[in-house]
Structure 1
Amino acid sequence: MTVTTPVDPEDLTARARIRDAAILHFGERGYEGATLRGIAETAGVSLGLVRHHFGSKQGLREACDEYLFTMIRRVNDQTRAGMASGALGSVITARGALRSYQRYMARTLAEGSAAALFDELARLSEEWLAEADKDRPDPPRVEARARAAVGTAMALSVGILHEHISRAMGVDVFSPEGDRLLARALIDIYSHPVLGREDAERILAALDEAESTPPQGGSP
């Protein structure tokens, strides 16, 4: 096994190699399945050096998470700048920078240990929604925080369900080809709403009416 995840040219130090090897192992084998010895072998360092830099497997995973957060924030900033300037090429490049971490994120989410990751992505999504709401022709009926949480869950579910999505699409969603197809599908979905405004208003009105109607047999 070789390290295949160096996506940031910050350095090629032993600490960075260990971190990248850990992201690979955690993504492929899960936290319980990964071992510090295996990570050390992939990084080409001694087990003692891994412990020197990170202390424990938990400390190493925390370092991986923090590095991933840094990358997510960086990609978010680059995407915002690219959208604002019309430099869509930079947006695509920025998005591709996270491709190497998809398996790690999917495994972490499936193992139920990604609360901080989810919260950070939801926070960033809420910022995007707050900006988009300024240009909406109709006021949102649900606060941005709730919409951000739902949207984040929908986006992250792709990683968790990647095997099923890959089978249905006929291409590995974690491959560059599958990632491009996924991006095109998402753009098509988001740019063509399933519900028109009139249909949405009718459904929302029905929900409002149902919420205001006491359950049968209840007190008025």
Structure 2
Amino acid sequence: MTVATPVDPEDLTARARIRDAAIRHFGERGYEGATLRGIAETAGVSLGLVRHHFGSKQGLREACDEHLLTMIRRVNDETRAGLASGALGSVIAARAAVGPYRHYMARALAEGSATALFDELARLSEEWLTEADRDRPDPPRVDARARAAVGTAMALSVGILHEHISRAMGVDVFSPEGDRLLARALIDIHSHPMLGREDAERILAALDEAESGPPEESRDD
């Protein structure tokens, strides 16, 4: 029988400090620009302790990703429970919880290393849409998975394009003031669609007609 070795609480604290320092460095400098030595200095630990806990820079990034995914699942569950009980403050709390990870997520998405993050967010979004579809007066014309993928991409693009959005808005979108303005803009956009029901139906009908027609013949330029 294997006997578990007791874990020093201070060791766990050091592990968390290293992980948080890595999230900061990866977010600010990217995976290639970040170094284990720099992360160790920020965390106030030795380089050897970083290697002891995570093995390599890749192992450290995987631990950061897993921590982020765990946090997102927890926040998602808390938001669901809050809305079910009428506690709308759970939505604001969710935005605050995700805030410290925005640079990390944006950098990971831009570098193409956020596959698990995107897939999990799309999966959670699909669950929300599937539930919302039950109360829709009109049946959706596109399945929930496709809508979830597109919606997730649109939401995450704010982080990737934050410099452009901040310039256009006139305020840093990652600042508290910018985040509040972003939240208000998103609520207004989603609650007041730019397309009316009749316009949307006409466009969808045109798409249906185009898809059902004969394929265009290829031609030489």
Same fold (TM over 0.5): yes
Computing the radius of gyration over CA atoms, which structure comes out larger, 1 or 2? Answer: 2
- Tell me how large the CA RMSD over aligned residues is: 1.3
Q: Structure 2 vs 1, CA of residues 217 and 73 (structure 1 numbering), >3 Å: closer, same or farther? A: closer
Match of 1:16 in 2: 16
Q: How high is the TM-score relative to the length of structure 2?
A: 0.92
- What is the CA distance between 1:12 and its match in structure 2? 7.2
- 2:120 matched to 1:127? no
- Stretches (4+) displaced over 2 A: 215-218
Residue pairs, 1:16-165, within 5 angstroms: 16-165=16-165
Which structure 1 residue ranges, 5 or more long, are not aligned?
A: 1-10
Deviations 1:83-107 (A, max 9, x none): 1111111221122111000000000
Deviations 1:63-89 (A, max 9, x none): 000000011111111111111111111
Q: State how far apart, in whole Å, the 2-side matches of 1:14 and 1:217 are.
A: 64
Q: State how far apart, in whole Å, the 2-side matches of 1:150 and 1:56 are.
A: 34
Aligned length, in residue pairs: 208
Matched letter for residue 43 of structure 1: A
Which structure 2 residue ranges, 5 or more long, are not aligned?
A: 1-10
Identity %: 89
Q: State how far apart, in whole Å, the 2-side matches of 1:99 and 1:16 are.
A: 18
- What is the CA distance between 1:30 and its match in structure 2? 0.2
Q: 1:13 is paired with a residue of what secondary structure?
A: helix
Match of 2:7 in 1: none
- What is the CA distance between 1:202 and its match in structure 2? 0.7
Deviations 1:96-132 (A, max 9, x none): 1110000000000000111111000000000000010
Q: Structure 2 vs 1, CA of residues 214 and 178 (structure 1 numbering), >3 Å: closer, same or farther? A: same
Match of 2:5 in 1: none
Q: State how far apart, in whole Å, the 2-side matches of 1:80 and 1:12 are.
A: 30
Match of 1:5 in 2: none
Deviations 1:178-214 (A, max 9, x none): 1111000000000001111111111111110011111
